[in-house]
Amino acid sequence: CVPTQVHINDGFCGMDVNTPLGGSIPIDASPVLTFDNLLLTSVAATSIHDSTVAFLGTSNGHLRKGVIDTRSTSFVYNDIIIDRGKSVNSDMHFDPNNKNYLYVMTERRITKVKDQECQDYQTCTECLGAKDPYCGWCILENKCSLRSDCAEAVHDPHYWLSFKRAQCTRITHVHPPQIQRTTVRTLNLIIDNLPVVDGQLFCLFTAGSITTTTNTSHSAYGINCPTPPTNLLSPIPANLHHFTAKLSVRTKFGPDLVATNFTFYDCSSYKSCIQCVSSPFPCDWCVGGHRCTHDTGENCRNDILVTGVSSVGPSIRSGPGFCPRINSTSETMTELLVPSGSLQPVQVKIDNLPQFIISKGFMCQFNIEGRVTTINATLFGEIIYCYPVRFEYNSDAPNITATFDVIWDSSKTLDNPDNIRVIIYRCERMAQNCGYCLQLPDKYRCGWCHDHCAVRDECHNLNPNISWLNDHDICPDPKIIDFSPKSGPWEGGTNITIEGINLGRNFEDIASGVHVVHEQNGINCIPFRELYEKSSKITCQVLNPNITSAHKAISGPVSATVTVKVANLYTAKSKQEYKFVNPHITSITPGKGPTSGGTRLTIWGLFMDAGSKVEAHLGNLKCDVVFRDANRVECLTSSRHMPGGERVTVRFDFGLRLYEHYEFIYAVDPRITVVESRSRHPRGVAKGIPSGGISLTVKGYYLNSVQAPLIYVEVDGVKYNNTCVIESAVEMKCKSPRVPLDKLNFSKSEKEEAYLELHFGFIMDNVKSVLDLSKRTHNPFPKFLMFKNPEFYKFSEPEHIKYYKSDYLTIDGANLDHALQKEDVIVSIGNDFCNVTSLSRSQLTCRPPATQPYAVLSDGSVDHNKIPDVVVFIGDALNFTIGSLSYDLPLHSNPLSKPVVILVVVGSCLLIVVTTIIFIGYCKMSRESNRVMKIMQQQKYEFEMRVLASDTLRTSNIYDDVALNSESKTYSNQHEYETIS
């Protein structure tokens, strides 16, 4: 098409200009990329090296990157989320000033996307595995980069590996794969795709902070290099048997070309045969030498050898099964139980003992609380008998473990693979009453000895006449320590849980012996077999007490005693009384809630904690009980299909109570139409700051059907909420939620107006329609805008003390009015407030009190002598101390020193005195001058009068002469005369 002045619309013919081109045969083509259940909305393409790269925008807000090599070879290698759920606009464009960036647009967002992120890949495998046509592995610089960023690739393209035609350089094998730390070996490294480089290659061994370098030589498939000298290697950490070093190959100045792990081990760190021969390293055990070694030829000459499972070569004794060892005399007994204070022999079985060991002699060694006891032992056949030793310990523990070893040849220990050990115990520390004592496992052989738990021998040693009870006997003196609940309804049915001691060996001992006895009769309490705990706990259900009408008439509690008879021999009675009571409902709050349910209903009354089980209902609808005490039951209402009223009932075990005064009303669910902040535009948007507490106005309908609404915002799946206050059925006020700063990421934008868009909603009992308002599909609310916290700066005056000048106070800051209005800010000056009058982006203005407030100390008390602090409070948790405000003049405004001040004051006084003297002298001189002037003026006046009289006479004579002698005098002469006279 060519530009034309003709208006082109659907009726344009195109006969003379811009004639349409077309044909009758369609063009067939096969797609190179297909996507299931996904609509592509935009495309932009470019080329890099020998690949065509397509950037594909999708209808769900993603940007997919694909490579199109041929009509049959293409793939997608990356998927970026641009604006989740929003369609990408069709007009994607590369930045005209930098083609490495692409502008991607959705309805409300423009995103600048870099064409590659090669630096994100840290290894060659990651780099080439990403299949990004822009990226390749720069061998000599050991990084993933653009080809243009790989310096050596300009000289030799083999130094930059692309994903298409290259494999990473890697060490495929190291021989040997591990060595004894105390030896030096030459390693053969087989390396795939090792580049040809100028200069020498080096092997580096790095362990911790220590790096050691060795030279290399080339081999057919890689390189050879020796391990470092042993004195330069890192030591093996305590309680370990090896350390792993990083083995890398590099040029003299370049980064690592390739690297792998290499292990240094130390066989001598193993101290037992089983550990030695079971290790993952080629270690062998010298039986006679009692040592683990890597070199049997040097260290195990003429000795019996047990070879390790990792050693190479045949052996008639290989693995831990050939190690000399001790075993338990019983297949299941690895704990040798010994009562504390007793004198006991110990015996164990031995295996795999060569004849020369038998001739060396044996000893048994016990370590009890750090005290090592060694005694002689004798071998009979396969059993070693340790002579009797007294086992006792000092701690208060019920039992302790003593380690046990069999020693041969004075210092060499036989292996103990089953961890045979001696458990020393005290019966009296394991059970404090008869019932618990007789329940101890049989292996301890404990019984009850008058007033404590002990083994039979210990008991009889104390007093042969004391009876010793075992688990077949009945414990005397049962006791009821506590029971609950302490009260139940008159109708019965309460499950009473009784806790005590010596409450029977088994259920049959107490099955018919539990009663609740009051003044009229005794009531059976039927125990539950499945809830019975031997000797210590009984749960039973009390039957209907059949209380007389006389007692019911007075409506007072009926007291009773709980009793337990054990095997019809011993009886326990409770010290506290059980009470039969008459629960009574007096009121309910609130009186209404939404039909969706979830209202926390409080049912007030008397004896509301009676019974073991309580159920509340609204008509036939269940109200789930969440709390109760003597005065109230609290429950959460169920939903109802439509608004209406329901009667409240509460069942206490077998007793049912009805609230008869009025019904609970199910009201219409609340509906929210507007949520907005009071701050500047845009309107109809909820805004807040991380510290929370910013005022929000919520409008809607039936809002007062809920008692305790909450507003929340969602961050990474976690909801953070704050409270709301109902103003009326159509309006409520909320405080924005507080969100920890570490949960919010403002780092993507350094602009002052940076904000995050968060999903939000309301928790209003169980009303689902107000949850996730910004997520709903039909008419979603705008997301909650979370702005950065505002900042207020301290006063710039020295020591941050500002002096009040009877005008407005201005406080500077940043990010002040994004989410705030002046009503959200409180400024205190000591114990009074500064009335906020205006708030802008960077300043707050307020009018301080007319008189200086008093300073407030940390404990809240008032200090009349200190300058009050100015503190700005924002929302719930944010405050700034700006400085102090003084209503007095500055005390240190004169920079002059005290002597100078004194000189200035004295000089000023002298100046005033001198000036006064001069003024007085001037006044006297002025009065004298005036007097002389008046005299002179008088004399002048008298003189002028005399002259005037004389001139008048002379003038008169002249006129007479003129009139007589000449009347022809001109006007000009006359004028001259007049002028002269």
Mean pLDDT value across residues 918-946 = 73
The token duo for 885 is: 């405000």
- Mean pLDDT throughout 487-500? 95
Q: Which amino acid is at 469?
A: L
Q: How confident is the model at residue 960 (pLDDT cuts 50, 70, 90)?
A: very low
Residue 914: per-residue pLDDT: 81
Residue type, 423: I
236 φ, ψ (degrees, to nearest 5): -75, 130
How far apart CA 249 and CA 81 sit, in angstroms, is 39
583 phi-psi bin (left φ>0, alpha ψ -120 to 50, beta other): beta
- Residue 973 binned pLDDT confidence (cut-offs 50, 70, 90): very low
With contact defined as beta carbons under 8 Å apart, do 425 and 337 qualify? Answer: yes
Q: Mean pLDDT, to the nearest integer, of 561-585?
A: 94
CA distances 971 to 862, 947, 955, 966, 978, Å, are 103, 28, 18, 13, 10
3-state secondary structure of 945: helix
Q: What is the CA angle 171-173-175, rounded to 5?
A: 130
Asked if the 169-265 domain carries CATH number 3.40.50.300, the reply is: no
pLDDT at 522: 80
For residue 102 the two structure tokens come to 């692409």
The token pair at 274 is 């089983």
Q: What is the pLDDT of residues 180-202, one digit of tens each?
A: 999 999 999 999 988 888 789 99
Model confidence pLDDT, tens digit, residues 108-150: 889 999 999 999 999 999 999 999 999 999 988 889 999 999 9
Mean pLDDT of the chain: 88
DSSP 215-240: E-EE-SSEEEEEPPPGGGSPPPPTT-
What letter would DSSP give residue 548?
-
User: Both tokens of residue 119?
Assistant: 């630096």
The domains of the chain are located at 40-115, 169-265, 268-322, 325-425, 430-469, 479-581, 584-667, 671-787, 791-886
The closest alpha carbon to 348, from 413, 280, 444, 397, belongs to: 413
> Going by C-beta distance under 8 Å and a sequence separation of 6 or more, which residues neighbour residue 431?
437, 439, 440, 446, 453
Question: Between these two residues, 966 and 872, which has the higher pLDDT value?
Answer: 872
Average pLDDT value for residue range 1-25? 70
Which amino acid, one-letter code, is at 566? V
377 close to 385: Cβ distance less than 8 angstroms: yes
- The pLDDT tens digits for 639-691 are 999 999 999 999 999 999 999 999 999 999 999 999 998 766 667 899 999 99
Residue that has been written with the tokens 């008459």 in this structure: 582
Q: Does position 752 have pLDDT exceeding 60, yes or no?
A: no
466: nearest Cα among 450, 448, 446? 450
- Class of domain 430-469 as given by CATH: alpha beta
> In CATH terms, is domain 671-787 a member of 3.40.50.300?
no
The whole-number average pLDDT for the span 415-426 is: 94
Tokens in use for 910? 């002298």
The alpha-helical segments, DSSP class H, found in 329-416 are: 355-358
pLDDT at 724: 96
In the chain, % of residues over pLDDT 90:
66
For residues 485 and 493, the answer to whether their CB atoms sit within 8 Å is no
| Rounded Cα gap, residues 739 and 731, in angstroms | 25
Whether residue 670 contacts residue 728, with contact meaning beta carbons closer than 8 Å, is answered with no
Helix (H) or strand (E) holding 203: strand 202-207
Residue-level pLDDT at 979: 34
Stretch among 11-25, 231-245, 306-320 having the lowest mean pLDDT: 11-25
Task: Pull the structure tokens for residue 748.
Answer: 């993507």
User: CA–CA separation, 201 vs 190, rounded Å?
Assistant: 14
Express each pLDDT in 352-363 by its tens digit. 999 889 888 899
Res. 554: pLDDT tops 60: no
Return the DSSP state at 121.
Answer: -
Residues 6+ apart with CB under 8 A from 959: none
CB 758 within 8 A of CB 715: yes
Rounded average pLDDT over 254-265: 91
Q: Judge whether 13 and 20 are in contact, CB under 8 Å.
A: no
> pLDDT tens digits, residue range 615-626?
999 999 999 999
CB 115 within 8 A of CB 109: no
- Mean pLDDT confidence for 811-823: 89
From CA 707, how far away is CA 590, in angstroms rounded?
8
Is the pLDDT confidence value at 845 over 80? yes
**How sure is the predictor about 715, in pLDDT bands with cuts at 50, 70 and 90?**
very high
Q: What are phi and psi of 630, to 5 degrees?
A: -65, -25
List, in sequence order, every residue forming a beta bridge with 688; answer none if it has no partner. Answer: 786
Are the folds of 169-265 and 791-886 the same?
yes
Burial class (CB in 10 A: 0-12, 13-18, 19+), 104: buried
Q: What is the dihedral of CA 275, 280, 286, 292, to 10 degrees?
A: -70
Please work out, in degrees rounded to the nearest 5, the angle formed at the alpha carbon of residue 434 by the alpha carbons of 429 and 438: 85
479-581: in CATH 2.40.50.100: no
Q: How wide is the angle at C-alpha 442 spanned by C-alphas 438 and 446, nearest 5°?
A: 50
- The span from the CA of 379 to the CA of 385, in Å, is 6
Is residue 797 predicted with pLDDT exceeding 60? yes
920: tokens are: 């007085």
Q: Considering only the top CATH level, what class is 325-425? A: mainly beta
Q: What is the CATH number of domain 268-322?
A: 3.30.1680
The model's confidence at residue 958, banded by pLDDT at 50, 70 and 90, is: very low
Q: Dihedrals φ, ψ of 614, to 5°?
A: -125, 140
Taking phi first (over 0 means left), then psi (-120 to 50 degrees means alpha), and beta for anything else, what does residue 37 get? left
| 584-667 CATH, one of 3.40.630.40, 3.40.50.720, 3.90.1150.10, 2.60.40.10 | 2.60.40.10
Which of 273-287, 861-875, 896-910, 962-976 tops mean pLDDT?
273-287
The more confident residue out of 795 and 976 is 795
Q: Residues 850, 851, 852, 858: is their CA dihedral positive or negative? A: negative
Instruction: For domain 791-886, give its CATH number from 3.10.20.30, 3.40.50.150, 2.60.130.10, 2.60.40.10.
Output: 2.60.40.10
Q: Are strands 784-787 and 687-688 parallel, antiparallel or unpaired?
A: parallel
